[in-house]
Amino acid sequence: MTQVNPAASTGAATGTNTTSSTALSTSGVGEEFDNFLQLLTAQIKNQDPLSPLDSTQFVEQLATFSSLEQQVKTNSSLEGIASMIGDLHAIIANDWLGQEVAVASKHVAYEGAPIEFEVNPSIAHDEALLTVKDSQNNVVWQEVLDAAMQRHTWDGSLTDQSEKAANGIYEFQLDLYKDGQPVAQTDAEFITKVTALGNENGKLVLGTDNYLTGDLATTRKISE
């Protein structure tokens, strides 16, 4: 779900920490693996020819050897995967940073400058009603949007025609109609620019210049 985050800075620190932890884990297992090899080699070299190493014990130690070997390989693979994910994040960041996007959100921060937004183009409609509410859930503005226009703007105007809205977080609600019948109630898609890319619970998340964050998979890129 998209959120307004005044401290939006979703850098790739998470990915870096994950890679570091994996590297430390691999290093620890690798040392254990080397110690086991040295111990097993010493046992074989120093065994008494008249009383050789018990075969059962030898098999058990070889099983341990195999388990450690597999763990080292697995951790090495995870380290490689983490590295590839980090590289992928860098590639995606280069492609998205600075780009103009439409981020769907119920709330947005108003700081005196006009707020640009679009209606979800995938929902067929011929009329849209915009309702803007303040943090106290009071309706401060309502407007029937021109269906012929793709992009719309709220400049902070208030229904009572007083001064412009105070800075703060506002809720945007869009009620869509077709042939006079309601078809959907949806979030506005706010126009903004990507300023950061991060990882949140396994998902690539974009940070923007108006404090919105959005899942990369559901964010619509407008400019190239």
In contact, 104 and 202? CB cutoff 8 Å: no
pLDDT tens-place string over residues 154-197: 999 999 877 899 999 999 999 999 999 999 999 999 999 999 98
The CA R_g of the chain, rounded to the nearest whole Å, is 29
For residue 111, the model assigns a pLDDT of 96
- Here the tokens at position 121 are 């183009």
Which tens digits make up the pLDDT trace of 125-149?
999 999 999 999 999 999 999 988 8
Query: Could you say which architecture CATH assigns to the domain 107-186?
Result: Sandwich (2.60)
Residue closest to 64 by CA, chosen among 100, 93, 40 = 40
Domain boundaries, the chain: 13-96, 107-186
Nearest to 154 by CA among 119, 122, 181: 119
> How much of the chain is helix, strand and coil, in % rounded to 5?
35, 35, 30
Rounded average pLDDT over 97-109 = 94
Separation of alpha carbons 114 and 183, rounded Å? 28
Rounded average pLDDT over 40-45 = 67
Percent of the chain with pLDDT over 70: 60
What's the pLDDT at 30? 58
